[in-house]
Structures are given as C-alpha cells and as structure tokens.
Amino acid sequence: MAREGCDLLDVGYRHVVLTVPHELSRVFWRNQREAHDLLFRCAWATVAAFAADRRWMGARTGALAVLHTWGRQLQYHPHVHMVVPSGGLTARGAWRRCGRDFFAPVRAMSKVFRAKVLEGVRGLAPTLDLGGSASHLAAAGALSALVDELFSKPWVVYCKRPFRDAGSVLAYLGRHAHRVAISNSRVKSLEGGVVTFEYRDTKDGRVRECRLHATEFIRRLLMHVLPKGFCKIRHYGILASRGKRERLALCRRLTSTPEPAPAPDAAALLRRMLGRDPSVCPRCGATMLPMVRVMGPMRC
C-alpha cells in the first residue's frame, strides 16, 4: 500500500459504494470484462459529476476505486468501493473543500448511476453474450425489457461516514484493496463434504453460519476469479496516473500536506518484516552474497 499512502492528502476522505441490482448479475457474470469496465466507468462518471456540481463541491476530485464481486454468502454481487477526497481542484487551480459530513444526496446519485449503467448496458447489448438456448434477437429483447423495468427500481448507492484521518484510509485500503472473497478465519469446518463458514447478516448485523456442499462452495468461490489481466484497482481524476506527480504536488501545497517520506528500500522492508538483517544467515551468522543477476543457460 506504499503507493496509495504517498497519494494521501490531509483533507479527509469519503467512502462511496455503488452496486448494481441482482437482476443484472447473470448478464454481468457472462460478460465480466465488458460489464466490470462499464461499472467502473459509470461509478466514476457519477462521482465526478456530483463533485463538479457547485452545490456539493464544485471541483475536480479524484478517487481510488476497488472492484468487489461477492456478497456475504459468496454469491455474485458486483459493486465498486470508492475512496474520494473531501475536496478537489477548481478550474483556476485552487483547492475547494467539501465541508459537509456527506458527499452528495445518495438518492440523486443512485438515479444518475442507474441511468448511466442501464444506458451502457443497452449500448453493449448487441455484443454481449446473453446465454440461453433462445436466439440472440429474443435474448436481446428480453434484456431490453429488463433494462426498461430496472429504470423504475431504486438502486443502491451508499456514502459511508468520512474517514477520521489518513491512517484510517490506509487501514481500510489494507483490509479491502487486495481482499479475496472469503478469508480463512471465516471457514469453520469441512465435515461430510459440507463447508461451514460465517457471515454477517446485513439485516440485523448478527454473525450467522452458512453451510454449502463443497462443490457448491468451490463453484461460488471460483465465480470471483476475474478475467486474466483485469485491473481491479483504478485511480481517477486528480489521482489518475497521467500527470499525477504534478497535480499531487500542487494539491499538497494547497492543502498544507507535508511531503511523504521516501519509500524504504527492499532491504529495509525485509528487516522490518523479519526483525533481522536479511543479508546475514540466521543459522551461522555469516554475511550472504547478494544476487546480482540470474544467468541463463550457457551456449557453446
């Protein structure tokens, strides 16, 4: 998490979660690369639009976005978590803070997000794998009807309370940025071919147990293996890669954020992790020779 830590500003951060309804899960799962890209684009477009509105911020902000595809019981449930600075750069190069405890009205955000995703799905329909035994034309007609139906259904956009400080942001990113569908600690037993694991019920907050046959457990787990090469962590706006060094330098100056400490080298990181000098053999105490490079097979 060194890179994200260097990007943090002393301005406070919002946590925004944007998700799609379960009716789209089948289409999204069969077309993960296109659908997940669409989800990222629409999530950022929604956040950027509300940030640019002077009623809420009136500036160009940024976001660190993380894709998650699972629900509490490992069902397929694609959604994007976004860590958004509480402010942004104006057109004149000044910093404008968002002084509210919330980023923007979630109902208004959900309507904009819904429209962007559904219009995107409608545009992608001719190229999507819609599955089933019916003809593509009939499947496309069914998808069009589903899109029309989902325009009248409320969607979920959730703005959590602001992070207290940069340390809280780092703690969150450490837990969630590279998280997998289920941790080992949640799996309680495997008996008689049945896997038992814990999950927290969203309705009452209680910890409950879910029991699945091992085959079904593995099937659900494999549903969350992303397409090869797919990027699940993305940076947008003032945090986007292109020109970020100059923008962040300006943002640090405008927000009185101190320059980040230089990243430790590999040897220092290993010393911190191991609690000893990695260049010294732990058994005999002799200094080990450093590896300069790996040579390929010799040719005569």
Q: What is the pLDDT of residues 131-155, one digit of tens each?
A: 754 566 677 788 889 999 999 999 9
Asked if 104 contacts 82 with a C-beta cutoff of 8 angstroms, the reply is no
Who wins on pLDDT, 187 or 176?
Answer: 187
- Give the per-residue pLDDT at 178: 73
Q: Rounded to 10 degrees, what is the CA torsion of 238, 239, 245, 248?
A: 60
Q: Rounded to 10 degrees, what is the CA torsion of 212, 22, 63, 174?
A: -10
Mean pLDDT confidence for 67-93: 92
- Give the per-residue pLDDT at 8: 83
- Give the per-residue pLDDT at 213: 96
Does residue 38 register a pLDDT over 80?
A: yes
pLDDT in tens, 216-271: 999 999 999 999 999 999 999 999 988 888 999 999 999 998 887 776 677 777 77
Interior/surface letters 122-142, b for 16+ CB within 10 angstroms, e for the rest: eebbeebebeeeeeeeebbee
Who wins on pLDDT, 39 or 156?
Answer: 39
Mean pLDDT confidence for 35-50: 96
49: amino acid identity, one letter: A
pLDDT band at 194 (very low <50, low <70, confident <90, very high): very high
pLDDT band at 1 (very low <50, low <70, confident <90, very high): very low
Global pTM? 0.81
Distances (CA, A) of 12 to 21, 43, 50, 72: 30, 20, 17, 28
- Give the per-residue pLDDT at 74: 94
